[in-house]
Structure 1
Amino acid sequence: MNTDSTSMKLTAREKSALIMEGIVTVVLLLLLNLSVIVLLNEMIQTNPGLQDGIFIIKRSVFIGPDHYQLWSWENIFIVLMLVFDAGVVYWRLIRRYRQMQLRHIIGELHYIANGHFDHRIPFTIKGDTQRVITSVNALVDSVIASMDEERKIEKSKDELITNVSHDLRTPLTSIIGYLGLVEDRQYHSEDELLKYTNTAFNKAKQMKSLVDDLFVYTKMRQTDTPLSLATLDIGQMLEQLAASFELEAGEKGMAINIDMPDKPMRIEADGEKLGRVFNNLITNALKYGEGGKHINLRAKQPDDKEVVISVENDGKKIPEASLSQVFERFYRVEGSRSKATGGTGLGLAIAQSIVKRHGGYIYVTSTDDWTRFVIHLPIKNGIQLKDTHEK
């Protein structure tokens, strides 16, 4: 993008036009001055009363400490006319120069409009016209940013359709295949029949899970989607979640621990949707916290504006290159689109959307010891927290 700022330079033709403008103006003013002097002189010569009045004025007017008298009205008139002429010449040249500035600005706008969107008006001009240039450059920047954002949205929609089509087609192909075997009676026993129908049933549930997650994700992305707000006790919510996952965590050899102050922490939020956030994060820790033994749910209230909740596990570290992508739709750290680990790939994207919809933000950190998903939520609904973790 061209952002170099220099003063506007006139072309040789424009400089010649300005010089000619000045010469023509001076010539016309000299002719006008001469005509006025001749007419005034003729009036004075033919009017004795006017001559006497001028003589009296000359005798009565003194200039300076030495009391010089005015004896030549022609000299005074010439001086006044020269001052007037200089003002007229300056006004005409400035007016013409500003017209040239506008032509330069219009030329730059045409250049940008012809598809050179990385170009900006490069020169600076003294006076109010510079505000026009600044506004035009800012407007072009805004339009280009909007176009880029629209392209990103369009690309995002295409990627969403592609990913959804892929994730629906895979289980759907299995369902059709196994039900086709059942339809054609290509099974040898009732156990084999049950195996086919059970596989088709599980694949159908997988499809339903994807559709449900996709519905929640798209709804949370819409800013006009209403929230069912209520006053929630974060401590009680986390204790209930820990109890609901206790059995599953035990089967995986993991323990869920809660760390929070004794003082109740209450916020205005949608309990169902916020519960889904923590549900997704705990589920994510159980599925991908390979080698981990602990899942910690921590909460604190650093001030009267927000609460901070973290869901952490001591499992396998998330690679540095993946940290900035874990909240993207359908992204999987393991680098494949297989369902070996289960899930739709929308869990973290849904969590982020719900947190943002509440005016908060979420981020992840990961070391060899702990992987932490940290959530900042406003205590009062309607407050938008600034993401202090943004780089």
Structure 2
Amino acid sequence: MLKLTGREKGALFFEGVETVALLILINVALIVIIQTFIQSNPGLASGIFIIKQSLWFGPYHTQIWSYQRIVIGIFIVIDAWVVWWRLRRRYHQYQMDHILAELHYIAQGHLDHRIPFRLKGNQQHVITSVNALVDSAVQSMNDERQIEKSKDELITNVSHDLRTPLTSIIGYLRLIEDKQYHSEEEIVKYAHIAYEKSKQMKNLVEDLFEYTKVQQHGAPVNIMTVDLSQLLEQVSASFELEGQKRGIEVTSITEPEPLKISADPEKLGRVFSNLVSNALKYGNGASYIKIEAHQHGDQVQIQVKNDGTKIPADSLSHLFERFYRVESSRSKATGGTGLGLAIVKSIVDLHHGEVTVTSDDNETAFTVTLPVEQPTTTSETKIDK
């Protein structure tokens, strides 16, 4: 509730006194004018007297009407309303003055401040709107700062991840250029290292391009009816040879089969390729990677599981952040760019789905939940594949 200052209370009191005094003077003047008008008109005076004599009650003929009393009563009612109206108007003016003072205080940079008092009527709507507007402005500023911070981090991480292999490439090519080698085998070795580092840079650029593409607002999604059974079989087959080299069995199971959903096949293939690739790189000691898909009503749940090294609990909530790696250092021994799982989450979000991860001593499982049918929009085309 708004509390008036002592000065405002005093001003309100004196305005009431001033209003009452003015009304008394006006009332006296009007009564004098009315009496003068009646006395100057004998016919009117006689009519009033006859009416007055005819209105009585009780055995003592008590009169119940007097025009003076009626006029005074009317004036009292009108005066009370005028005093109430003026004081109410002045009080509302003080309320608006306090609201404006709070606005000026906020506008001076005190964005954590909100108008604290509550009023009635339109003034409260103003206060609620102002506080909501300030909240929205602060949230927008925080979002803008977060975006700028995110951009800076993106530039920093990309610069770091590109500079490291680029430095190696330049270094080994300089050795070849300056003939700092002792045999043809060393030339081949230096060229191979430069080639591997170049592929690492290429992977980073491709992942960065894919990430920025799916992060764009209104990113195009080519929705088709996709046979998920075939798609997952293709993904597992593409990693079968690499899995054999590492002693890891890569398999896929779908239930029911065939299992068809609405999705962008290219982007969905990228999701599960990234998840299997992630399991191969970081699932140390794993003996299997299983891709299991099951339909539950109007949703499909796909899990990519492996029995490799457990992911630390404090890392689980950060896995889908871009450039995040579980390793304590930014070592590139595994060849990861730190964007694979961020791309997974972005693509799953585009498909109105959800991706989660659990990990314990027995198994690590990435779970992707997708709707069987995608919400129809004007930018989507749906065809059978």
Q: TM-score range by the shorter chain?
A: over 0.9
- Whether the aligned pair in 1 keeps the contact of 2:214 and 2:347 (CA below 8 Å) is yes
Equivalence map 1:96-245=2 (5 Å)? 96-245=90-239
CA distance in 2 between counterparts of 1:263 and 1:196 reads: 50
Equivalence map 1:1-391=2 (5 Å)? 7-61=1-55, 69-304=63-298, 306-382=299-375
Aligned to 1:388: none
Report the alpha carbon displacement of residue 310 of structure 1 after superposing the two structures with TM.
1.3
213-222 or 195-204: bigger deviation: 195-204
Report the alpha carbon displacement of residue 71 of structure 1 after superposing the two structures with TM.
3.8
- Whether the aligned pair in 2 keeps the contact of 1:223 and 1:357 (CA below 8 Å) is no
Q: Deviations over 1:55-98 (max 9, x none)?
A: 2333455689x996434211111111111101000000000000
User: Match for 1:375: what amino acid?
Assistant: V
CA distance in 2 between counterparts of 1:39 and 1:54 reads: 16
41-50 or 261-270: bigger deviation: 261-270
Aligned to 1:3: none
**Is the alpha carbon distance of 1:68 and 1:181 closer, same or farther for their aligned partners in structure 2, counting shifts above 3 Å?**
farther
- Whether the aligned pair in 2 keeps the contact of 1:285 and 1:313 (CA below 8 Å) is yes
CA distance in 1 between counterparts of 2:359 and 2:72 reads: 87
The share of aligned pairs that are identical, in percent, is 60
**Is the alpha carbon distance of 1:364 and 1:35 closer, same or farther for their aligned partners in structure 2, counting shifts above 3 Å?**
same
Aligned to 1:387: none
User: Match for 1:374: what amino acid?
Assistant: T
Structure 2: gaps (5+ residues): 378-385
TM-score normalised by L of structure 2: 0.93
158-167 or 243-252: bigger deviation: 243-252
317-326 or 252-261: bigger deviation: 252-261
CA distance in 2 between counterparts of 1:310 and 1:63 reads: 98
CA distance in 1 between counterparts of 2:180 and 2:154 reads: 37
CA distance in 1 between counterparts of 2:106 and 2:55 reads: 64
Q: Deviations over 1:276-319 (max 9, x none)?
A: 11000001111111122222212122222x22211111211111
3-state SS in 1 of match to 2:296: coil
Report the alpha carbon displacement of residue 179 of structure 1 after superposing the two structures with TM.
0.9
Report the alpha carbon displacement of residue 146 of structure 1 after superposing the two structures with TM.
0.7
User: Match for 1:279: what amino acid?
Assistant: S
TM-score normalised by L of structure 1: 0.92
Q: Deviations over 1:78-134 (max 9, x none)?
A: 111111101000000000000000010111111111111111000001222111111
CA distance in 1 between counterparts of 2:220 and 2:250 reads: 32
Report the alpha carbon displacement of residue 211 of structure 1 after superposing the two structures with TM.
0.5
User: Match for 1:267: what amino acid?
Assistant: I
- Whether the aligned pair in 1 keeps the contact of 2:229 and 2:257 (CA below 8 Å) is no
CA distance in 2 between counterparts of 1:275 and 1:71 reads: 98
User: Match for 1:143: what amino acid?
Assistant: A
- Whether the aligned pair in 1 keeps the contact of 2:227 and 2:258 (CA below 8 Å) is yes
Report the alpha carbon displacement of residue 224 of structure 1 after superposing the two structures with TM.
2.2
User: Match for 1:121: what amino acid?
Assistant: I
- Whether the aligned pair in 2 keeps the contact of 1:59 and 1:70 (CA below 8 Å) is no
- Whether the aligned pair in 1 keeps the contact of 2:286 and 2:308 (CA below 8 Å) is yes
3-state SS in 2 of match to 1:260: strand
3-state SS in 2 of match to 1:187: coil
- Whether the aligned pair in 1 keeps the contact of 2:261 and 2:372 (CA below 8 Å) is yes
- Whether the aligned pair in 1 keeps the contact of 2:262 and 2:374 (CA below 8 Å) is yes
Report the alpha carbon displacement of residue 383 of structure 1 after superposing the two structures with TM.
6.8
3-state SS in 1 of match to 2:250: strand
User: Match for 1:300: what amino acid?
Assistant: H
User: Match for 1:357: what amino acid?
Assistant: L
Q: Deviations over 1:210-238 (max 9, x none)?
A: 00100000000012221222110112211
CA distance in 2 between counterparts of 1:310 and 1:62 reads: 99
3-state SS in 1 of match to 2:297: coil
Report the alpha carbon displacement of residue 367 of structure 1 after superposing the two structures with TM.
1.7
CA RMSD in angstroms, aligned pairs only = 1.9
User: Match for 1:55: what amino acid?
Assistant: F
Q: Deviations over 1:138-176 (max 9, x none)?
A: 111111111101100000000000000000001111111
CA distance in 2 between counterparts of 1:126 and 1:63 reads: 48
Q: Deviations over 1:5-38 (max 9, x none)?
A: xx11110000001001101100010000000000
User: Match for 1:379: what amino acid?
Assistant: V
CA distance in 2 between counterparts of 1:185 and 1:359 reads: 56
- Whether the aligned pair in 2 keeps the contact of 1:182 and 1:193 (CA below 8 Å) is yes
